[in-house]
Structure 1
Amino acid sequence: MQPKRMLLVERLAYLAVIAWALWNVTFEGYRFAKHVRSVTHLPGLVYEGPVLGINDLSDYQWRSFRASAALLAGAMAGFVCISRLARALPAGRQPLMVAVSLLFLVVLHGSSAIFVLLLLLGGYGLSRRMAKVPYGLLAVWAYACATLLLVRIKNGFSFHAVSPSLSFLDHHSGLLRWHIHYNLLILRLISFAADLHWSRSPRMQQHQQHQQQQQQQQQAPRAAASPVAAAGNAAGGGGAAAAGAGAGVARGGGDGGLLGLSRAMEKELRTRVETPLPLSYYGLGSFLEYVLYPPLYIAGPIITFNSFASQRLLAPIKQLGATQVIAYILRAALAWACLEGLTHALPYNSIAKHRVLERLTASAFTPAPRPLHYAITGYWVLIFMWLKFTVIWRFFRAAALADGVVPPENMTRCVCNNYDIE
């Protein structure tokens, strides 16, 4: 048999095994879930009418997001509209967007937004102070870890602990608990501090000067080809560094997985991450706009400060168009539809959360679950978790894309397309 034909037969055999396994885990999973619902009560199931039937909403995070999705979509759409209108006022764009972000913060956390701002301002001041100090970034890390640990131990701060006369402010805590989202703020603070520290390091400044001299000597026509380079030259610095970083990341390649776009866009994003900005762009306004950016504030994904600021303050990603954004929104909607189908047909999150298999094993009136049922339960819970985070992250990433900001994609692969469970 020819090698190509043998390879084809081998692949067909693999596909047959995978198809059999998926059919078995789906059919047996549906049959067993139906049996469980008939013999015991599953908390967290909601009846949604004769058409939709039962829906597994036992996961608090998914239930909360699903219930507030319409409100969040309206808020994101409103923010994107304001942001795009603000671009007509270049001088006043950033103050307006910072004001909108602060309003968003107050709506989310109420009076507790004061604690968020104080902690952020402390981190900003420390980052600026330690920017040129050797190992100064370690001080920012220590501040971030210490405040995060304190916030988690205290479950947030209260105004009553500051002064009993301020206790009334504790009754206006907003829609979300601020300390739950503080870990994401810490990641953004560290990104800002790291980018600022490296941009002011002597090695980076020497590298920029060296690159600029090379560009002037060679008179390379592509020195300003990148949007980052062109905007950096207009701002008085950064263009040569952008070209140098672009040459460096060219070796990294890429599979074009971001939005299904070309390698050129992925290379451009990597260039923006590695390209230091002019020092004037590391100000308080840019910092607040970055850490409080509404589309990415609640759940991420995390974008580095250099990449965010270059897209907001210098030049947007030109390869990003309406077609790509709409296609990504449709992909997010498809993932949501898959999750809805899963929670309606296979309520295994409720089965696992409430230890139904253990109850059935201990019961003398129902057959004990087989080992296959334990494996199926773990599999579908894993699928549910992956889909849940995929939907949430893509929802907010789609809002950022609609605003012209391209953050990284957290979910680049399917949960079933991994080599190991890790």
Structure 2
Amino acid sequence: MASRGDNGSRSGPISFLASVYDLDTLDTRFTTPSSVPYRAAADKREDDRVTGRRAEPSKWNTLEFYVYYLVFLVAVPYMFWIAYDVSRPSDPRYQKFKHLLSDGWIPGRKIDVSDAQYHTFRVNLPYMALLLLFHPLLRRVWNAVYPVPQETKPSKLNSPEVAEARLHQRASFDAAFALLYLVVLHGFSAAKILVILAINYKIATGLPRKYVPAVTWVFNICTLFANELCEGYKFRDTALLFTGRPALDLVTDTLGLVRLGEWLDSHGGLMGRWEILFNITVLRLISFNLDYYWSLDRRSSSPIEKKQLDPANLSERDRISIPASPQDYSFRNYLGYTIYAPLYLTGPIITFNDYISQQRYQPATLFPSRTLKYAIRFGLVLLAMELVLHYDYVGAISKSGPDWSSYTPAQISLLSYFNLHIIWLKLLLPWRFFRLWSLADGVDPPENMVRCVSDNYSTLSFWRGWHRSYYRWLLRYIYIPLGGSSFRTGFDAARTVLTYLVVFTFVALWHDIKLNLLIWGWLVVVFFLPEIAAGYMFPRRKWEGRPTAYRMLCCVGGVGNVLMMISANLVGFAVGLDGLENIVKGIFRDYSGLVFLVTACSALFVGIQVMFEIRQSELRRGIDLKC
């Protein structure tokens, strides 16, 4: 069956570019229901027709939207101009942040290198690109040395015997490459990671079943804190602990343990501080343990046989929910999964069950043409980030300790707004790069970013679409086990709010042990409540006869949501609580600030109307992303 993302009937550069930005190219999960196997998903499904009938008529060619287009033509260039204007060398504040700039590749322009996270990714991108090419090629060599037995009959290509051989072949390579990868990345610190992995594996397979969930959570949360507080367990500090000597007493170190520890610490590989990015591995450790724990309930029967499913053509929901075979929970498979090279550093996150299923059977969603288009899309996003950093130095300005009172309300707001876009892009780029590597290697993880940060009006939907694989992980391993959400009674509502608080407290601590991130997590929960309350106070069914009035009402609520989301993310990931306070004071310090706020809210209103119509267009195509 041809891929919907292949668009084989299209021709010409414009059509090809349109196919690059097709949702199916980004992730087939967006166009295929999770309960439907990809091969069984026809272009016109019954579910699509039902969804399509629910969509409203197109408004793109109405007078209302022609007015909106005019606003876009004026507002968007003006927004970029404001950020560019305060970034020019002629600006009197330029010298204060000039040291955070470096020579760029665009003639006559410097580039903002103030963000250490993106700068590290940017500098290492050529080497990672070589690794992206080397790793799949090395797997081909491995496959040639350890080939899967070939079946001559087409009907036997996905036989259980061939599937088991493919799993053995791929998992063995992943485990072997994982050990090499750890040593190259972390040097002798690889031993620390292997110890953590071994303890976690023993918790799942060695403890009595009833203790596994609680001990898993306690161990992994304690690991998050210990990694941070002990700064990666330096060998030197460990030696001092065992010898009982003070930190400066190196002359009398007759056993040489401290010197040995220092030598081991000096050979920490390419990433000596392994603990910084280990948080993502913790999620895989928990996934393995809980998937194994839940598999013990189904050892007596096979869901695949019971439901008469084709194991080579499972839906994504079945790949995640159906446990792997008992023998699949081996340490080799566990090591290959937790340290799977393409996804080890940043994700996206894939569950253990899904990983094993994709190792057995090549995902039907993988096509060379789709992977190529995904690579082109990554390149275009990278170009967008480079252009922003060459012309809008908003990151450098915010990190230079600016005097916000010297900026106009419009400048303060647009600097903050573009700062959020840089945060979005600097997260998007690594996620897409490593997902591209995984796709090239034959594993299809979820796409982490569904929409542009400027295409969100709902706090709930924003959370579903931002770091989507993490959101799905939280649903499976925390949110649903805690009971999900319900607002039918006061008790249910209180329990739901408590569930949200538990989830977002974990999210904040998982990101980093910092007060501003805890405040961010709690602010997100607080900002959920008005939207949830509005949904109950103004249900869609009561406005069926007044769709335009309901759309306008929702848009007003969307403007409030956007302002709250901007505030929460500025606190958590940009300027902190004090910085947000200074920004708000700058906007409200005089009458011009209020005028700008009204103008900005009007522009947001127009933008949200366009967001509504984008989603209606998707509904008319049978796509409901719920975000």
Q: TM-score, normalised by structure 2?
A: 0.55
Q: Return closer, same or farther for 1:269/1:214 CA change in 2, 3 Å cut-off.
A: closer
Moved more, 322-331 or 31-40: 31-40
What secondary structure is seen at the aligned counterpart in 1 of 2:456? coil
Shift of 1:107: 0.8
Map of 2:554 onto structure 1: none
Q: Which amino acid aligns with 2:181?
A: F
In 2: Cα distance, 1:50 partner to 1:16 partner: 31
Map of 1:212 onto structure 2: 305
* Aligned partner of 2:393 among 343, 347, 362: 347
Q: Superposition RMSD on alpha carbons, in Å?
A: 2.3
Q: Which amino acid aligns with 2:125?
A: A
Whether 1:25 aligns to 2:102 is: no
In 1: Cα distance, 2:296 partner to 2:436 partner: 33
Map of 2:523 onto structure 1: none
Map of 1:246 onto structure 2: none
Q: Which amino acid aligns with 1:354?
A: S
Structure 1's unaligned 5+ residue stretches are: 216-222, 229-241, 243-267, 362-367
In 2: Cα distance, 1:127 partner to 1:398 partner: 31
In 2: Cα distance, 1:26 partner to 1:357 partner: 21
Map of 1:327 onto structure 2: 373
In 1: Cα distance, 2:192 partner to 2:60 partner: 65
Q: Within 5 Å, which residues of 2 pair with 1:94-243? A: 94-130=171-207, 133-134=209-210, 136-163=212-239, 165=257, 166-167=260-261, 168-176=263-271, 177-201=273-297, 204-205=298-299, 208=301, 212-213=305-306, 215=308, 223-224=309-310, 226-227=311-312
Contact 1:317 1:404 in 2 (8 A): yes
Contact 1:52 1:344 in 2 (8 A): no
Shift of 1:210: 7.1
Q: Which amino acid aligns with 1:46?
A: S
In 2: Cα distance, 1:388 partner to 1:45 partner: 17
Shift of 1:39: 4.2
What secondary structure is seen at the aligned counterpart in 2 of 1:87? helix
Q: Percent identity among equivalent residues? A: 30
What secondary structure is seen at the aligned counterpart in 1 of 2:209? coil
Q: Which amino acid aligns with 1:385?
A: I
Q: Deviations over 1:267-301 (max 9, x none)?
A: x3332112211111110010000111111111111
Contact 1:351 1:357 in 2 (8 A): no
Q: Deviations over 1:86-111 (max 9, x none)?
A: 33424555333322221111111111
Shift of 1:7: 8.0
Map of 1:248 onto structure 2: none
Shift of 1:9: 1.8
Shift of 1:5: 8.0
Map of 2:326 onto structure 1: 279
Map of 2:31 onto structure 1: none
Whether 1:380 aligns to 2:465 is: no
Q: Within 5 Å, which residues of 2 pair with 1:230-309? A: 268-309=315-356
Q: Return closer, same or farther for 1:6/1:145 CA change in 2, 3 Å cut-off.
A: closer
* Aligned partner of 2:125 among 66, 69, 75: 69
Q: Within 5 Å, which residues of 2 pair with 1:333-412? A: 333-358=379-404, 361=405, 368-412=406-450
* Aligned partner of 1:417 among 444, 449, 455: 455
In 2: Cα distance, 1:6 partner to 1:73 partner: 41
Count matched residues: 361
Map of 2:26 onto structure 1: none
Q: Deviations over 1:43-74 (max 9, x none)?
A: 32112367262111111011111111111111
In 2: Cα distance, 1:79 partner to 1:122 partner: 29
Q: Which amino acid aligns with 1:342?
A: V
Q: Return closer, same or farther for 1:339/1:6 CA change in 2, 3 Å cut-off.
A: closer
Q: Return closer, same or farther for 1:17/1:95 CA change in 2, 3 Å cut-off.
A: same
Q: Return closer, same or farther for 1:5/1:33 CA change in 2, 3 Å cut-off.
A: closer
Q: Which amino acid aligns with 1:40?
A: Y
Map of 2:481 onto structure 1: none
Shift of 1:134: 2.5
Map of 1:78 onto structure 2: 134
What secondary structure is seen at the aligned counterpart in 1 of 2:88? helix
In 1: Cα distance, 2:316 partner to 2:140 partner: 21
Contact 2:186 2:270 in 1 (8 A): yes
Structure 2's unaligned 5+ residue stretches are: 1-56, 149-167, 240-255, 458-560, 566-627
Q: Deviations over 1:160-180 (max 9, x none)?
A: 233352312111111211111
What secondary structure is seen at the aligned counterpart in 1 of 2:86? helix
What secondary structure is seen at the aligned counterpart in 1 of 2:451? coil
In 2: Cα distance, 1:318 partner to 1:211 partner: 18
What secondary structure is seen at the aligned counterpart in 2 of 1:55? strand
In 1: Cα distance, 2:306 partner to 2:346 partner: 42
